[in-house]
Structure 1
Amino acid sequence: MPSTPVMDDKAIVKDYFNATGFDRWRRIYGDGEVNKVQLDIRKGHQKTVDTVMAWLQADGDLAGLTICDAGCGVGSLSLPLAAAGARVFASDISEKMVAEARQQAQETLASEQLPQFAVSDLESLSGTYHTVACLDVLIHYPQAQAATMIGHLSSLAESRLLLSFAPKTLAYSLLKKIGDFFPGPSKATRAYLHREADVIKALESEGWRIQRQAMTKTQFYFSRLLEAMR
């Protein structure tokens, strides 16, 4: 059976995050009441965001840095980056996600801190930025398309590329197979795991070297974070 084209995956993701997926993930990424599984995923994702912020703040040059948050969701990374003084361009394939992120930014940030928001898929992003961040988005891309996408994101980044992805290991593949990786009846998108060696190979082929790496692991959230530098 032939593999499903990435365009089909993209359409599914777009429709999902503009419908039932938006309500579900807005709750997860927000601070309202959620169930045990959603709370676990919220804590895991926040740990990934906190790690990125800690790395960038440790470098001491975050203020004024141009950063593209590719796949920004409801702004969980974009908003703290902007609050810290970065000049942020934030995009997401979901109009509802972008609208929520924009509203949160207007409610919490000063006017001069507001990110520039856009509704866009990763393939359509353009421009040049000091740093490009793409957190927990590659899970929607099969490995072949993920390598192509890493190449495109690399073309946007001058000095740093931050990627997080669900690592493909025997244990995590088993969890995904039995339905525990993304539990819940509202899941409606394919979840692709990626071998870390393949991701690193794709990065190195674009001239990157791995500077820092981290692993966030909770009961239901597994994310490998890589910082690639030129």
Structure 2
Amino acid sequence: MTATDDKTVVREYFNATGFDRWQRIYGDGEVNKVQLDIRKGHQQTVDTLMGWLEADGNLAGLSCCDAGCGVGSLTIPLAQAGAQVYASDISAKMVEEARQRAEVALEGKNLPTFEVKDLEELAGRYHTVICLDVLIHYPQDKVQGMISHLGSLAESRLIMSFAPKTLFYSALKKVGEFFPGPSKTTRAYLHREADIVKALEAEGWRIERRTLTKTQFYFSRMLEAVKDQ
């Protein structure tokens, strides 16, 4: 399957059955045990990231790009903390859901800018570019180019999370336990941390902070990369 085919599959999935599935997972309604576990894991990643940014003490007014915003799980707390947020996603349904959630949560104040775009179409310059749990849709041979592109948008910091490729997680994926559920139809690409770090360092980035979030069904390595001014 080509990268273009992957992108088409992802777009169609998240505008159809995938939207219904992940809207529930990233909501607050009743879900099954597996979906609840994934919800909690993703929220841990968001909470950890917000903790990093808030600890720096300069989040208010900071320009941030939430690349692959989904239903706004990160976009909204960023805006609530005072950041100026540009948020995008490949799925029009996801973007509309994120926009509606933001309008309710923010009560019309400091609303993010939302657009329907895939990662390759993103443009502009932002202090911080964030891309959470999106690289799972990109094969390894496309990751270097994606990191280079996202890095070109970031003035000072690039934060990415991805499903780590280890023998253990690869084995889980093979037996269908890594991303369970019959409605999951997109390919799930795991990435070795060493490969991601190498790609970042090749673009002049330095790893500042890192963490691993793991629950029973959710595994995500997050890296914060910075450039010395």
The TM-score normalised by the length of structure 1 is: 0.98
**Superposed, which structure 2 residues align to 1:75-224 within 5 Å?**
75-224=72-221
Alignment partner of 2:57 out of 33, 56, 60? 60
- Whichever residue aligns with residue 84 of structure 1, its letter is A
CA separation in 1, counterparts of 2:62 and 2:154?
12
Alignment partner of 2:6 out of 5, 9, 26? 9
Deviating above 6 A after TM superposition, structure 1's stretches of 4 or more consecutive aligned residues are none
CA separation in 2, counterparts of 1:197 and 1:211?
15
Q: Report the 3-state secondary structure (helix = DSSP H, G, I; strand = E; otherwise coil) of the residue aligned with 1:112.
A: coil
Structure 1: tracts of 5 or more residues without a match: none
RMSD: 0.5
When the two structures are aligned, how many residues end up with a matched partner? 227
Identity of aligned residues (%): 73
CA separation in 2, counterparts of 1:215 and 1:33?
26
- Whichever residue aligns with residue 92 of structure 1, its letter is D
CA separation in 1, counterparts of 2:158 and 2:45?
15
Structure 2: tracts of 5 or more residues without a match: none
CA separation in 1, counterparts of 2:85 and 2:124?
12
Alignment partner of 1:72 out of 69, 72, 76? 69
CA separation in 1, counterparts of 2:18 and 2:109?
31
Quote how far apart the aligned CAs of 1:111 are.
2.5
- Whichever residue aligns with residue 85 of structure 1, its letter is G
Quote how far apart the aligned CAs of 1:137 are.
0.1
1:21 aligns with 2:14: no
Q: Report the 3-state secondary structure (helix = DSSP H, G, I; strand = E; otherwise coil) of the residue aligned with 2:59.
A: coil
Quote how far apart the aligned CAs of 1:147 are.
1.4
